[in-house]
Amino acid sequence: MSRLPATIRSTREAVRGVPRGAFVPASEPTRVDEFGFELALCAHLERTREWILGRQLGAAVRGRRVIDVAAVEPGPAFDARAAITDRTIPAPAVESDVGPGRARYWKDAFDCHPDRARAVVDRAVELGFFERERHNGREYVRQTVRYPDWFGRIVGVENKPDLTRPGDLETQLRTDVCLGLFDEVVLATESYVTGAHRNRIPDEVGIWRFHPGDGEREVVREPTPLSPDEPGVELVERGAARTDVRIVAPGEKARARRRLAERAYGKGWRTYEFPACSRVDPGADCLPHCEWHGRLVRPATECGSDCPGHDPAEPPARDAEAVRADRTPWRPDPDGRTRQQSSLDHFG
């Protein structure tokens, strides 16, 4: 095996040596507080950056890391990707042996259980990425277009509004730095950042101080670029007596990055439904702001008949996809989906 870069060798030992509770040990702040902070930050980034944003996405290869916000920069072939579908293209479809050339028997194109392959084929056809053909009573598939190299840098943002209640923040950030799945990693907080905080945050991690109330964002420290094209070290399991890590090859990281970018493109960050309550005002940013609570709320857990301020009404009429389309390069309902629908009509 080739000799690992110095940054990988050093960060591998850094992950092994991270003590538990290296920050001030305390309980996590409430999820609703972090939820509101996260939504406000996403709205700010959507207004000020040409990024594709996704929330709460898997950011690991074999481990269990979930990043709060993934920001994907469009690449030169972005328009080709946007023309296919506005949803996530399944990773097995992209990674299969199905191409835009000769049609292939669908079972031979996948290295997985036939039931899983069947579901992937059906979804890819529905999205317009695959089209079907029938030869001698058997179903064949081909790509409608070659999958483009559509994204550039990916920035990972970990949100921790209150640095006096950091939980496993240091371990999470060291994991991101060691793995190098992102091009850059940033910590976003509302807290005043002290010298002690800086010392406990990996040097490669940038720091933003963000104020949800007025939408002001201060760059406390610029991030250091990471190396997605080089081998990484991933924290796989951490116990009381040992920490298990593994070397991640560049090809594995490339596949994980593509999956992450696809999820961000199809999922976006407004993954909530507005409640049937007159007190919720989406505003221009299409956020679940509750006039009764006086803050952003988490509709799935805070809204409903059990809320003392609940006032039954139709959900607010606000088109989140229209707001996203107006502010970002993401394109809703592209022509490619219309072409795909016609091909389905002719399949029988």
Task: Say yes or no: 29 and 127 in one domain.
Answer: no
Q: Is 341 domain-assigned?
A: no
- Could you tell me which residue, 21 or 256, shows the higher pLDDT? 256
Q: Is 188 domain-assigned?
A: yes
Task: Say yes or no: 218 and 161 in one domain.
Answer: yes
| Rounded CA separation 140/143 (Å) | 11
pLDDT tens digits, 115-174: 999 999 999 999 999 999 999 999 999 999 999 999 999 999 999 999 988 888 999 999
Question: Contact 303/310 with Cβ under 8 angstroms?
Answer: yes
Task: Say yes or no: 196 and 69 in one domain.
Answer: yes
Q: Is 284 domain-assigned?
A: yes
Q: Is 312 domain-assigned?
A: yes
Examine the fold and report which residue of 113, 128, 146 is the final residue of a domain before the chain moves on: 146
Task: Say yes or no: 47 and 179 in one domain.
Answer: yes
Q: Is 34 domain-assigned?
A: yes
Task: Say yes or no: 108 and 191 in one domain.
Answer: no
Task: Say yes or no: 172 and 246 in one domain.
Answer: yes
Asked whether residue 323 carries a pLDDT value surpassing 70, the answer given is: yes
Rg of the chain on CA atoms, in Å: 22
Task: Say yes or no: 129 and 17 in one domain.
Answer: no
Task: Say yes or no: 120 and 188 in one domain.
Answer: no
What is the pLDDT at residue 240?
Answer: 67
- Residues with Cβ within 8 Å of 154's Cβ and at least 6 positions away in sequence, in order, are 70, 71, 72, 73, 181, 182, 183, 228, 257, 260, 261
Across 340-345, average pLDDT: 41
Task: Say yes or no: 97 and 220 in one domain.
Answer: no
Q: Is 343 domain-assigned?
A: no
Q: Which domain holds residue 286?
A: 280-317
Model confidence at 176, in pLDDT bands (50, 70, 90)? very high
What is the three-class DSSP state of 218? strand
Task: Say yes or no: 186 and 260 in one domain.
Answer: yes
What is the pLDDT at residue 14?
Answer: 43
Examine the fold and report which residue of 200, 232, 267 is the final residue of a domain before the chain moves on: 267
Examine the fold and report which residue of 225, 246, 267 is the final residue of a domain before the chain moves on: 267
Q: Is 22 domain-assigned?
A: yes
Q: Is 249 domain-assigned?
A: yes
Task: Say yes or no: 227 and 190 in one domain.
Answer: yes
pLDDT tens digits, 185-230: 999 999 999 999 999 999 999 999 999 988 999 999 999 999 999 9
Asked whether residue 1 carries a pLDDT value surpassing 50, the answer given is: no
- What pTM was estimated for this model as a whole? 0.85
Task: Say yes or no: 104 and 68 in one domain.
Answer: no
Model confidence at 243, in pLDDT bands (50, 70, 90)? confident
Asked whether residue 4 carries a pLDDT value surpassing 70, the answer given is: no
Q: How many CB atoms lie within 10 A of CB 274?
A: 20
Q: How many domains does the chain have?
A: 3
What is the pLDDT at residue 148?
Answer: 97
Q: Based on the number of CB atoms within 10 Å of its own CB, is 123 exposed (0-12), middle (13-18) or buried (19 or more)?
A: middle
